[in-house]
């Protein structure tokens, strides 16, 4: 068991509370970055590499047929082990976006391919559910159960915003516990069903869930309605019978009161619990081992690492599991002098001999995936056959690592720049003004000056109708700083000569008869009818 400080190399700004760590094809992946993805990593998924007390990230790409995966905080993440010839994958449901919107989508993340230089490419698909579908939530759990030769996913808990009919201006951002319903859905057909059990009377979130065969154990969690962390354990049994499933629940009293803990798998039926909170002002400094067997679940005390002063004095902490018996832990600096917002630690519960063997095995099996000092592959026809040129680039050197300094400062460039002398746009307090705006302010191009420049439509006091009119066709616009004329200048229309249409001559057309009268007769008839 070791506790070592970890130094993030040019990536500390991406790690935030609520991120998730995944393991696919022997590689650790970071999901749920801080803020929206940028150009260097549009997918928002990074490969994580630990070496010599440093943590480096590398951008992970998606396949062309993948859907967009937003950076989600505190989602429900469930690992699907390979079965029936299917590859290992992850299910991701719910979570909060950087705009504090709560997602309702369900995503399936799998490995698509590896390039000749072992570059990992993922495939992300959004799964559609039918029936009684779980609503938007975060802080919940998902687990896989197997019964009678069938497999299903169990979802429980979480928090969400108040119902639409109860939300007002004062409580717009207030969250409540989701109803204590158990959702059961299968991945083959996407059928979802909701089940209410009498033992589950209060909603709970940020709990732990471990599963073995047809049983799911729900441990700890926090309830907003009672503002408590009850020391109890729920044993949920799911029987996937022909027709409709049968669910039963059993309540087991324990001495563990915990929420927001980190759980790491160390074997097929063994887990380690670390971190979390016993109360709002007290962290849980103890560690426990969880063992699942035919008889049920047992807890054993585990020796805790020698916590540093920064960890013991911090009020909050968070992290995630980076593999079997390996945990990444982060504590805020809380005003102490530091170049980053958090201190990071690498916790390993393996023995010293096992950790050395794993390092040697990782060095042998992944020698070509080292993020630096790696040798390029040989120039042979076998390696180049069927490969694209961009796949043959050496991404394992320093060029493949993510670097925050390479990103542009959006407060000075792009949508959040100072467009004019009177620009009052603040990226921290900005709210959508036009109906076409979603995450960024609307901008319009000014044709004056050398090459023109972009300005915010709201700063130019443009109405939405005029903005839509200017964005159509080949029209020019001049901002207030260049003449003060916020109007469009029409390009001269192209002169088109009209076509001469000659009437068609119709054969045998009958013309109306005409009566020939002299002027005397016309005068006589005029006086007669007048």
348 is an annotated ligand-binding site residue: no
Q: Which residues touch 297 (CB under 8 Å, ≥6 apart)?
A: 210, 217, 233, 235, 252, 290, 291
423 is an annotated ligand-binding site residue: yes
222 is an annotated ligand-binding site residue: no
Residues in the chain, how many?
530
Tell me how far apart the alpha carbons of residues 362 and 220 are, in angstroms, rounded to a whole number: 35
Would strands 2-8 and 54-59 be described as parallel, antiparallel, or unpaired? parallel
459 is an annotated ligand-binding site residue: yes
Phi-psi region at 270: left, alpha or beta (left = phi > 0; alpha = psi -120 to 50):
beta
* Stretch (H or E) spanning 312: helix 309-313
Tell me how far apart the alpha carbons of residues 205 and 155 are, in angstroms, rounded to a whole number: 12
Torsion of CA 297, 303, 309, 313, to 10 degrees: 30
> Which ranges of 368-478 would DSSP assign to H, the alpha helix?
381-384, 464-470
| Token reading at 145 | 């159960």
Tell me how far apart the alpha carbons of residues 297 and 271 are, in angstroms, rounded to a whole number: 11
Cβ–Cβ under 8 Å, residues 63 and 121? yes
207 is an annotated ligand-binding site residue: no
Tell me how far apart the alpha carbons of residues 358 and 361 are, in angstroms, rounded to a whole number: 5
**C-alpha R_g of the chain:** 33
Question: What is the number of other CB atoms lying within 10 angstroms of the CB of residue 310?
Answer: 18
Candidates 348, 396, 318; CA nearest to 49 is 396
Tell me how far apart the alpha carbons of residues 400 and 316 are, in angstroms, rounded to a whole number: 33
Candidates 2, 506, 39; CA nearest to 304 is 2
Would strands 150-156 and 181-185 be described as parallel, antiparallel, or unpaired? antiparallel
419 is an annotated ligand-binding site residue: yes
Chain centroid, CA 407 distance in Å = 20
Candidates 3, 90, 55, 8; CA nearest to 355 is 3
**Residue 365 DSSP code:** H
Tell me how far apart the alpha carbons of residues 207 and 198 are, in angstroms, rounded to a whole number: 19
482 is an annotated ligand-binding site residue: yes
Q: Which residues are annotated as a binding site for Zn(2+)?
A: 419, 423, 446, 453, 456, 459, 479, 482
Pick out the residues of the known binding site. Answer: 419, 423, 446, 453, 456, 459, 479, 482
């Amino acid at each position: 068991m070791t506790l070592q400080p970890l130094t993030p190399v040019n990536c500390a700004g991406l790690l935030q509370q609520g991120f998730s760590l995944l393991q696919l094809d022997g590689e650790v992946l970071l999901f749920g970055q801080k803020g929206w993805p940028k150009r260097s990593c549009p997918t928002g998924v990074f490969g994580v590499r630990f070496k010599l007390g440093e943590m480096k990230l590398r951008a992970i790409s998606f396949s062309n047929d993948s859907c967009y995966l937003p950076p989600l905080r505190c989602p429900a993440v469930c690992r699907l082990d390979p079965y029936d010839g299917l590859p290992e994958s992850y299910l991701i449901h719910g979570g909060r976006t950087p705009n504090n919107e709560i997602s309702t989508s369900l995503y399936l993340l799998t490995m698509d391919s590896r390039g000749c230089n072992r570059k990992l490419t993922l495939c992300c698909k959004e799964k559609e559910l039918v029936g009684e579908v779980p609503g938007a939530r975060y802080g919940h759990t998902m687990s896989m159960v197997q019964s009678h030769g069938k497999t299903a996913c169990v979802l429980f808990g979480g928090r969400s915003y108040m119902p639409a009919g109860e939300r007002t201006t004062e409580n717009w951002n207030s969250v409540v516990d989701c109803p204590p319903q158990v959702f059961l859905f299968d991945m083959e057909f996407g059928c979802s069903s909701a089940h209410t059990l009498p033992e589950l009377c209060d909603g709970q979130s940020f709990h732990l869930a471990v599963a073995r065969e047809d049983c799911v154990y729900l441990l700890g969690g926090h309830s907003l309605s009672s503002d408590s962390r009850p020391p109890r354990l729920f044993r949920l049994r799911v029987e996937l019978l022909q027709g409709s499933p049968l669910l039963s629940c059993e309540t087991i009293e324990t001495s563990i009161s915990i929420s927001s803990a980190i759980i790491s798998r160390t074997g097929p039926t063994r887990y380690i619990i670390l971190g979390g909170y016993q109360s709002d002002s007290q962290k849980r400094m103890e560690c426990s081992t969880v063992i699942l067997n035919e008889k049920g679940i047992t807890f054993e005390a585990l020796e805790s690492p020698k916590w540093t002063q920064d960890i013991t004095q911090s009020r909050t902490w968070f992290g995630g599991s980076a593999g079997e018996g390996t945990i990444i832990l982060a504590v805020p600096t809380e005003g102490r002098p530091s170049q980053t917002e958090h201190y990071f630690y690498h916790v390993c519960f393996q023995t010293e001999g096992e950790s050395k063997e794993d390092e040697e095995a990782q060095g042998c099996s992944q020698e070509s995936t080292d993020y630096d000092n790696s040798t390029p592959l040989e120039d042979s026809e076998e390696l180049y056959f069927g490969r694209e040129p961009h796949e043959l680039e050496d991404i394992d050197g320093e060029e493949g690592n993510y670097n925050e300094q390479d990103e542009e400062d959006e407060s000075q460039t792009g949508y959040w720049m100072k467009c004019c002398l009177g620009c009052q746009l603040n990226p921290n307090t900005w709210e959508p003004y036009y109906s076409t705006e979603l995450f960024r302010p609307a901008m319009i191009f000014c044709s004056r000056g050398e090459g023109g420049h972009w300005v915010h439509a709201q700063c130019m006091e443009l109405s939405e109708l005029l903005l839509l009119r200017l964005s159509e066709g080949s029209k020019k616009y001049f901002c207030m700083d260049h003449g003060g004329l916020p109007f469009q200048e029409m390009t001269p229309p192209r002169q088109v000569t009209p076509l001469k249409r000659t009437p068609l001559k119709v054969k045998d057309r009958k013309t109306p008869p005409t009566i020939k009268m002299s002027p005397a007769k016309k005068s006589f008839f005029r006086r007669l009818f007048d």
